[in-house]
Amino acid sequence: MRDLFIIVASILVACSTTRGQIAPAPGPTAAEIAARMLRHDMQRQTASGGYSGIRQYAVENRRFGRHASMEVHVACDAEGAERFRIASEEGWESANEHVLPRILEEETKASRPSEQSRSRISPDNYTFQKVGTELLDGQPAYVIDLFPKRRDQLLFRGRIWVDASDYALARVEGQTANPSFWVRNVHFTWQARKSDGYWFPVSTKAVIDIRILGQVEVSIRYLDYLPNVKPDSKTGFPVLAEMTAGRP
């Protein structure tokens, strides 16, 4: 079942970053949009010093009437490496003991700078095809279809919405490109919104079709996300949030 945790973790890492505001040039191609999205994302991630926040995970298996929830504190540094601390958990013991902690473990590994390139939404991993523009939450966004360049558990087939003003990744929908024996399919939706000049994730919803268990629904709510860089009250220089990984 390790492949399930890798798949879910890679989706979260591919989508999770902080972003600010930059004006677009008119009529860019899919390749130009992708290049600007990546360039601006890296600049903003470094400028923000990463982020910290709270995630509320929920796992539900309707077939067996099982439900689990977990609240997790997350901290991400300027290079994108994430650390987690489990604050509370309840419900389905098996999921809280084995499923959700393993997702966090795999996401921690996948977020390491040396591993990020394998799942990043980039020209190295995907072919980009521009579909057009749509209004997303009342704002224009470029709509682009993604086609993975290789069969890999870390990649997916899907569609992204890139904010036309900020070149921020605002929405992602897709399904795994290479399901395994245990995981027949994973379909997910990830959404972000702008807050105080930064783009942070607000929700992830995934439906996972697993042999024996049937469909398992995983949902994540992202709360109180803030950039790590803030002025020190005494020196005025930026400081980073600190957190120790593990259970309380």
CA torsion angle for 240, 245, 247, 248 (degrees, to 10)? -30
φ/ψ of residue 2, rounded to 5: -60, -30
Task: Note the pLDDT of residue 74.
Answer: 93
d(CA 189, CA 37): 19
Residue 157 lies inside a defined structural domain of this protein? yes
Task: Note the pLDDT of residue 49.
Answer: 81
Count the helix, strand and coil residues of the chain and give each as a percent rounded to the nearest 5. Answer: 20, 45, 30
Task: Note the pLDDT of residue 213.
Answer: 73
Residue 246 lies inside a defined structural domain of this protein? no
- H or E element, residue 181: none
**218 closest CA partner among 68, 93, 104, 75:** 68
Classify 120 as helix, strand or coil. Answer: coil
Task: Note the pLDDT of residue 25.
Answer: 42
Beta bridge partners of 57: 70, 220
d(CA 123, CA 35): 8
Q: Are 219 and 58 spatial neighbours (Cβ–Cβ below 8 Å)?
A: yes
Residue 186 lies inside a defined structural domain of this protein? yes
Residue 31 lies inside a defined structural domain of this protein? yes
Q: Which residue has the tokens 């490109």?
A: 177
- H or E element, residue 247: none
Rg value, the chain, Cα: 18
Amino acid identity, position 150: R
Task: Note the pLDDT of residue 125.
Answer: 94
DSSP conformation class of 19: B
Q: What's the CATH number where 59 sits?
A: 2.50.20
User: Per-residue confidence of the chain (248 residues) as pLDDT tens digits?
Assistant: 444 445 555 556 666 555 444 344 457 999 999 999 998 888 777 777 888 999 999 999 888 898 999 999 999 988 889 999 999 999 988 777 877 888 888 888 888 988 888 889 999 999 999 999 999 999 999 999 999 999 887 889 999 999 999 999 999 999 876 656 566 678 899 999 988 888 899 999 999 887 777 788 999 999 999 887 664 455 443 444 443 333 33
Classify 95 as helix, strand or coil. Answer: helix
Amino acid identity, position 84: F
Residue 53 lies inside a defined structural domain of this protein? yes
Residue 154 lies inside a defined structural domain of this protein? yes
Residue 78 lies inside a defined structural domain of this protein? yes
Residue 245 lies inside a defined structural domain of this protein? no
**41 closest CA partner among 170, 188, 208, 130:** 170
Question: What residue numbers bound the domain in which 128 lies?
Answer: 2-239
Domain tally for the chain? 1
